[in-house]
């Protein structure tokens, strides 16, 4: 057995974060050494990547360091067979999440760790919310569309009429989702908590252009500039 020389000094040490539940729930339950090595490798490899939604391709597990470790764990088996079995165990235990992706060049598989972002990433891919990747990544996973109704209810009030719900749904077709979120935020800051006011802001941005004039200090006078003209009759001052 080769002796470990120790970790380098802190200035040269890069760290990989693990959720506390890994040690309290998963570590006691994983009874397969190869599965444990694959899971540890997944955390490390994903930590080397950038972006909000990170994933590993099946081919990225064909790594010499990992395969050597799997051969040591189960010397009687081919390391590729051990790898396939370890991945299957980790997916069955829901430590790793996996989904196929159909691309013009054929089908690929992507793997994510079962964190919140990992779950969102897999859901987005399964919903078709991805586009062609860049910099060697086959796909770029798109962010979730904000649930405007939930955001409205959390900040303005309950959506308790079919008419209001329809107007919110239509707004998502007419305006970028982030605009709606920002308009709701602006209405809250100005204490103008009604959809008519929010819609007036959105239509003003649509016709006159959205810029940074609302990112600074907001006051009542700033708000009133949105409720002039044909929308003024529908909005309370």
pLDDT in tens, 34-64: 999 999 999 999 999 988 899 999 999 999 9
Q: What is the pLDDT of residues 114-170, one digit of tens each?
A: 999 999 999 999 999 999 888 778 999 988 877 888 899 999 999 999 999 999 989
Tokens 């990170």 belong to 54
pLDDT computed for residue 193 by the predictor: 93
Q: For residue 217, is pLDDT > 60?
A: no
With CA atoms as reference, report the closest residue to 106 among 138, 62, 135. 138
Asked whether residue 108 falls in the same domain as residue 173, the answer is no
Asked whether residue 41 falls in the same domain as residue 118, the answer is yes
Going by pLDDT thresholds of 50, 70 and 90, the confidence category of residue 236 is very low
Asked whether residue 194 falls in the same domain as residue 113, the answer is no
Asked whether residue 117 falls in the same domain as residue 178, the answer is no
User: The domain containing residue 119 runs over which residues?
Assistant: 16-141
Q: Does any domain span residue 11?
A: no
End residue of a domain, out of 93, 123, 141:
141
pLDDT computed for residue 229 by the predictor: 44
Please tell me which residue, 133 or 215, carries the higher pLDDT value.
133
Asked whether residue 161 falls in the same domain as residue 180, the answer is yes
Going by pLDDT thresholds of 50, 70 and 90, the confidence category of residue 12 is low
Picking from 17-31, 122-136, 192-206, which range would have the lowest pLDDT averaged per residue? 122-136
Asked whether residue 154 falls in the same domain as residue 214, the answer is yes
Token pair for 86: 């370890």
End residue of a domain, out of 114, 141, 168:
141
224 contact partners, CB below 8 Å, separation of at least 6: 237
Torsion region of 94: left, alpha or beta (phi above 0 gives left; psi -120 to 50 gives alpha) = left
The pTM for the full model equals 0.67
Asked whether residue 47 falls in the same domain as residue 134, the answer is yes
Kindly report each contact of residues 166-174 with a partner whose C-beta sits within 8 Å and lies 24 or more positions away, as own/partner.
167/195, 167/199, 168/195, 171/199, 171/202, 172/145, 172/148, 174/202, 174/206
- Quickly count: other Cβ atoms within 10 Å of residue 197's Cβ: 24
Q: For residue 223, is pLDDT > 60?
A: no
Asked whether residue 45 falls in the same domain as residue 118, the answer is yes
Residues 60-77 have a mean pLDDT of: 96
pLDDT computed for residue 233 by the predictor: 37
Asked whether residue 76 falls in the same domain as residue 122, the answer is yes
Distance separating alpha carbons of residues 161 and 178, to the nearest angstrom: 24
Please tell me which residue, 148 or 8, carries the higher pLDDT value.
148
Q: Does any domain span residue 1?
A: no
Going by pLDDT thresholds of 50, 70 and 90, the confidence category of residue 11 is low
pLDDT computed for residue 135 by the predictor: 75
Residue 151 exposed, middle or buried by CB count within 10 Å (0-12, 13-18, 19+): middle
Q: For residue 5, is pLDDT > 90?
A: no
Q: For residue 220, is pLDDT > 80?
A: no
171 contact partners, CB below 8 Å, separation of at least 6: 148, 180, 199, 202
Q: Does any domain span residue 164?
A: yes
Asked whether residue 118 falls in the same domain as residue 210, the answer is no
Asked whether residue 123 falls in the same domain as residue 24, the answer is yes
Q: Does any domain span residue 211?
A: yes
Supply angle C-alpha 132, 16, 140, rounded to 5: 5
Residue 14 exposed, middle or buried by CB count within 10 Å (0-12, 13-18, 19+): exposed
Going by pLDDT thresholds of 50, 70 and 90, the confidence category of residue 186 is very high
Q: Does any domain span residue 4?
A: no
Asked whether residue 115 falls in the same domain as residue 23, the answer is yes
Mean pLDDT of the chain: 87
Domain count, the chain: 2
Q: Does any domain span residue 8?
A: no
Q: For residue 4, is pLDDT > 80?
A: yes
Distance separating alpha carbons of residues 96 and 209, to the nearest angstrom: 44
End residue of a domain, out of 141, 174, 202:
141
Residues 179-197 have a mean pLDDT of: 93
């Amino acid at each position: 057995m080769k002796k470990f020389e120790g970790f380098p000094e802190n200035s040269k040490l890069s760290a990989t974060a693990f959720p506390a539940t890994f040690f309290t729930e998963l570590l006691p339950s994983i009874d397969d050494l190869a599965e444990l090595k694959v899971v540890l490798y997944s955390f490390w490899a994903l930590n080397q990547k950038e972006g909000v939604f990170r994933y590993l391709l099946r081919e990225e597990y064909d790594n010499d360091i990992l395969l050597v470790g799997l051969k040591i764990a189960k010397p009687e088996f081919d390391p590729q067979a051990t790898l396939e079995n370890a991945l299957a165990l980790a997916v069955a235990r829901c430590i790793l999440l996996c989904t196929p992706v159909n691309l013009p060049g054929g089908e690929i598989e992507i793997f994510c760790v079962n964190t919140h972002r990992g779950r969102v990433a897999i859901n987005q891919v399964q919903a078709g919310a991805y586009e062609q990747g860049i910099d060697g990544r086959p796909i770029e996973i798109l962010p979730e569309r904000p649930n405007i109704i939930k955001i409205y209810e959390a900040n303005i009030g309950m959506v308790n009429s079919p008419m209001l719900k329809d107007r919110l749904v239509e707004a998502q077709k007419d305006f970028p989702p982030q605009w709606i979120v920002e308009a709701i935020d602006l209405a809250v800051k100005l204490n103008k908590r009604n959809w008519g006011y929010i819609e007036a802001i959105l239509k003003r941005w649509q016709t006159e252009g959205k810029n940074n004039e609302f990112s600074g200090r907001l006051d009542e006078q700033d708000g009133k500039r949105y409720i002039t003209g044909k929308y003024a009759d529908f909005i309370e001052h």
